[in-house]
Structure 1
Amino acid sequence: MRKFLYKSVFYITGCLLAFSCKVGVKYERPNVNTPHEFRGAVNSTLQDVSLAQIKWRQFFNDSNLIQLIDSALSNNFDIRIALKNIEIANRSLRINKLNYLPSIEANIGTVNKQYRSDDFYASPSSKWYEKSGEKAPSSLFTYQSQFTSGLEFSWEMDIWGKIANEGDLLKADWLNNHETRNAVQTKLISDVASGYFNLLKLDSQIEVAKRNLRLNDSTLRMIKLQFEAGEITALALQQTESQRLVAASMVPELEKEIMIQENALRILVGEMPNYIVRSDSLHHRLINFQESISLGSPLEIIRNRPDIKSAELVLIAANANMNIHQIMRYPQLSLSGVFGVNSMLPKNWFNIPGALLGGIAGEITTPIFKNRKLKNRYEVAKIERDKEELNFQRTVMEAVSEVSNSIVTVKKQKEQLLLAEQRVNNSELAVKNASLLFKSGYATYLEVITAQSNALKSELDLVELKQKQLNSYVDLYRAIGGGWN
């Protein structure tokens, strides 16, 4: 009978293994219908290098900024948390690989004594008391006594590919953590560069404000002399003083914003608030951006952008999860066994071969009636998979649109910058002419004040446009998929 059972178990196991396969739908990347080129992009064949392939150290051309980004990549808390998540995912992946092997546990020692009384349906263990030379008591007699040591193993046979699909899911999660880390790095570099450029903008603006304040002081002294000579009224003196106070009030406001921006940058680099070493102004070439560099095709951003790769990995994980729920509706096979020693008396615990114990069991289970829970869970997993596919397609579409927006922003801000520079040159000439005409009596003090006010605004606008232009280059670099390598 025992041989028949063993043969039956091994026969059924062999049949299942022979006809087993990896159940489920193999993942294939969905069609995203990307266009051939980005809207607004001009094809260039001058260079074969794509913007996304340029390393961030080569993209930026400022040693202070590069050093700041280096510190951020080493000390930023988001980066460090992302690295810990990668470690966790790596450990989970290792656990899954070991699931193909049987688990073995050592039972060092188990003592099992059960006591019963008269009202219990069975009698005391006769052999125990006979061997001990004692008479069984009428209450709380020893009903059962066992002393066991041995090895126990269990093994789940992956006949339908459940462990393999779990491995696909965990591998996708592991890769997703890497892409999340890349996305965090890309955003961190962009944030540090934007903060650094904003700091340079504030430095330039406070320089403009102080220079205009000195010009207003000079104009105010001239107005006071004319007022004392009786050539103008007190109203002219008051309005000139008001214009000076407008320029003066900008200085403490900008000093406050500079300190706040320095503190924000220090947080990004994982350090306590302190001064930020930086370049002199925005006039230096801070970014190595060439119009001849290729932007690549919309299809390439799927391979470059961490957020798109992350969305696809989530889809791969959802596909594997759907397969796992499908496999749960199939028969499952597991093997278990035990080998060791077992006796009723402690003195016979390790009596070889009398106390030897061995056994093996094969178990095939299949769900029959689960109130349709397994089917509905599979259907939910299938819908979740479809939902992640839609999310992947949306992410690609938004990325293509973001690149197109960045391209047109770079172009149009370049045009704005040229116009702003002409406006500054014109306003500076207007201030000089107004001052000369005022001294000659051909212009009023209001024309002088207006010219100085326009000059201040145009210079501040020019500085802000230079910062926006730098940020637009960084946004294009990030949108096209650069910054993580």
Structure 2
Amino acid sequence: MKQNNYVIALLLILVSSCQFHRPLQQEKMKVPASFSEGQSTTTNDSIYQGDESGKIQQSELKSWNVFYRDTLLKNCIDSALIANYDLRIAYQRLQQSRAGLVYTRGIRLPDFGINLGTGVRKFGDYSIDGVGNYDTQFSPNLNENQRLPNPVPDFYAGVYSSWEIDAWGKLKNKKQAALSKYLATEEAQNLITANVVSEIAQLYYSLMLFDKKIEIIRESILLQENALLICEAQKASGKNNELAVEIMQSEILTLKTMLLEIEQQIIATENQLNILLGRYPQNILRSNWKPETEMTDTLAVNIPSEVLLNRPDIREAFHQLDASKAELVVAKTAFYPTVQINANMGYQAFRAALTFRPESIAFNFFGNLVAPVLNRRTLKANLLESNATKAASYLQLEKTIVSAFTEVYQLLQVSKRLDQMERFKTEQVSILEKSVETSFALFSSGRATYLEVINAQQSYLQSQIELLEIANLKNKNQILLYKSIGGGWN
């Protein structure tokens, strides 16, 4: 009867150790099906779940060496992918994460090893072992090899094995958590790659923009110098005065100062680009300014929201959520009993010459069933922490998706307005170009003042630079849009 009570008490302890709290249920977030819908609440399950069936394959998104058409830019990106310090640091962090993955790869397999040992023991003459060993020496059942020396040597050579049976999936989920964390680290590296490629492209196009600005300003200086010659001729003939000549000279000096400022911007931009390329300051080889369509490939306007699954930050958030789910299962199964099997087998003797005889073979085999009883508060705390981590990972995923969707939506809206701005500014440049020709003709015939010539040239120069800035903004917008839909790292 007393033994039955012990068995019942043991079963109650095991059952109580298997109890755990249920995690909080999460609501499924709603994602607009396309970026043109704006405030639509159509649920896009493929984004929320990261379902492979709804995922746009990476091959469908053009790689950066197809999207960017400039050969010299591609050379810069190739150099950065090898020498960029951020990418090299990220690679080492990936190797650190890989080490954790390697550790858990064989976590469900038995542990097996070789054990070689030797030692010596001396029992006290007035101890139980000492008296027993001494008395044993006089037994008639012992042969000469079985009589114990004093002190007693011990020689052992054998193998051992230990195996925790993954009855509840704890080890499986530990392995899954390590794999998900490794994949998250890999996506973090991809995100750094996409950022580096995007920054290099933007800086490269900025250098091309500065070169084109210098070209325009030099043309404007030539126009001003021609106007100065006319003004000096009019002064000599009495049709103009010294003030007009001085103002013309001042305008030329202003333009030359602008050239120096742009050259300084070029040096600063080249230095930024060289840092991304992992090298010391040097000149950056680059092409001449080209129309937007010749610099980057065209992206479609009607982009489905599933394209967000190509983004490394969203993929990283999914992997972090998977890791937190697996760690939550590990925290739950910590309440369950642990089943472990241990075994040893080898040769053991107290004389070296007798060690490797068949009679010296020794082995043991035993199993353990261990259930937590006194440390349940620690396990409950770990479970609460794992639940909170999972909830935070889910919210982080939601935040990342919302931020990514908003980023793409905003860039698409900016793209539409930049197209309109470019049309208006192109028309303005065309009108002001004619006004410069008209002002020169009128000034040469004495029907316009030098101030009208200066104003016409200043307006024309300013409109040309503004048109260039808009074109550069369109380039940068395309670069950012390409990165925002997951391009640039593949």
TM-score (norm 2): 0.81
Aligned pairs for 1:23-422 within 5 A: 31-39=28-36, 53-113=61-121, 127=133, 145-283=153-291, 285-290=293-298, 293=300, 295-298=302-305, 300-346=306-352, 348=354, 350=355, 352-370=357-375, 372-422=377-427
In structure 2, do the counterparts of structure 1 residues 80 and 28 end up closer, same or farther at CA, with 3 Å as the change threshold?
A: farther
Q: CA deviation at 1:318?
A: 0.8
In structure 2, do the counterparts of structure 1 residues 78 and 295 end up closer, same or farther at CA, with 3 Å as the change threshold?
A: farther
Tell which deviates more after alignment, 96-105 or 461-470: 96-105
Q: CA deviation at 1:304?
A: 1.7
Tell which deviates more after alignment, 201-210 or 60-69: 60-69
Q: Distance in 1 between matches of 2:59 and 2:441?
A: 51
In structure 2, do the counterparts of structure 1 residues 92 and 168 end up closer, same or farther at CA, with 3 Å as the change threshold?
A: same
In structure 2, do the counterparts of structure 1 residues 50 and 227 end up closer, same or farther at CA, with 3 Å as the change threshold?
A: farther
Q: CA deviation at 1:257?
A: 2.0
Amino acid aligned to 1:406 = L
Tell which deviates more after alignment, 76-85 or 398-407: 76-85
SS in structure 2 of the partner of residue 278 of structure 1: coil
In structure 2, do the counterparts of structure 1 residues 91 and 352 end up closer, same or farther at CA, with 3 Å as the change threshold?
A: same
Tell which deviates more after alignment, 432-441 or 82-91: 82-91
Deviations 1:186-230 (A, max 9, x none): 222212211111111011011112222222222233333444555
In structure 2, do the counterparts of structure 1 residues 128 and 364 end up closer, same or farther at CA, with 3 Å as the change threshold?
A: same
Consecutive unaligned residues in structure 1, runs of 5 or more: 1-7, 42-47, 132-141
Deviations 1:409-440 (A, max 9, x none): 11111111111112222222222222222222
Amino acid aligned to 1:332 = T
Q: Which of 454, 459, 463 pairs up with 1:449?
A: 454
Consecutive unaligned residues in structure 2, runs of 5 or more: 1-6, 39-55, 138-149
- Kindly indicate whether the alpha-carbon contact (under 8 Å) linking 2:292 and 2:471 is maintained by their aligned counterparts in 1: no
SS in structure 2 of the partner of residue 109 of structure 1: strand
Q: Distance in 1 between matches of 2:93 and 2:439?
A: 64
Amino acid aligned to 2:318 = E
Q: Distance in 1 between matches of 2:360 and 2:249?
A: 108
Deviations 1:258-317 (A, max 9, x none): 2332333233233443332222213363345447x364321x134322211111111111
Residue 144 (structure 2) aligns with:
none
Q: Distance in 2 between matches of 1:25 and 1:308?
A: 27
Q: Distance in 1 between matches of 2:344 and 2:129?
A: 29
Q: Distance in 1 between matches of 2:94 and 2:204?
A: 29
Q: Distance in 2 between matches of 1:51 and 1:91?
A: 29
In structure 2, do the counterparts of structure 1 residues 114 and 256 end up closer, same or farther at CA, with 3 Å as the change threshold?
A: farther
- Kindly indicate whether the alpha-carbon contact (under 8 Å) linking 1:52 and 1:304 is maintained by their aligned counterparts in 2: no
In structure 2, do the counterparts of structure 1 residues 469 and 272 end up closer, same or farther at CA, with 3 Å as the change threshold?
A: same
Aligned pairs for 1:468-483 within 5 A: 468-483=473-488
TM-score (norm 1): 0.81
Q: Distance in 2 between matches of 1:196 and 1:453?
A: 28
Q: Distance in 2 between matches of 1:213 and 1:442?
A: 23
Q: Distance in 1 between matches of 2:303 and 2:346?
A: 67
Q: Distance in 1 between matches of 2:301 and 2:439?
A: 48
User: How large is the Cα RMSD of the aligned pairs?
Assistant: 3.5
Amino acid aligned to 2:254 = V
Amino acid aligned to 2:482 = Y
- Kindly indicate whether the alpha-carbon contact (under 8 Å) linking 2:81 and 2:87 is maintained by their aligned counterparts in 1: yes
Query: How many residues matched?
Result: 447
In structure 2, do the counterparts of structure 1 residues 104 and 425 end up closer, same or farther at CA, with 3 Å as the change threshold?
A: same
In structure 2, do the counterparts of structure 1 residues 283 and 290 end up closer, same or farther at CA, with 3 Å as the change threshold?
A: closer
- Kindly indicate whether the alpha-carbon contact (under 8 Å) linking 2:107 and 2:175 is maintained by their aligned counterparts in 1: no
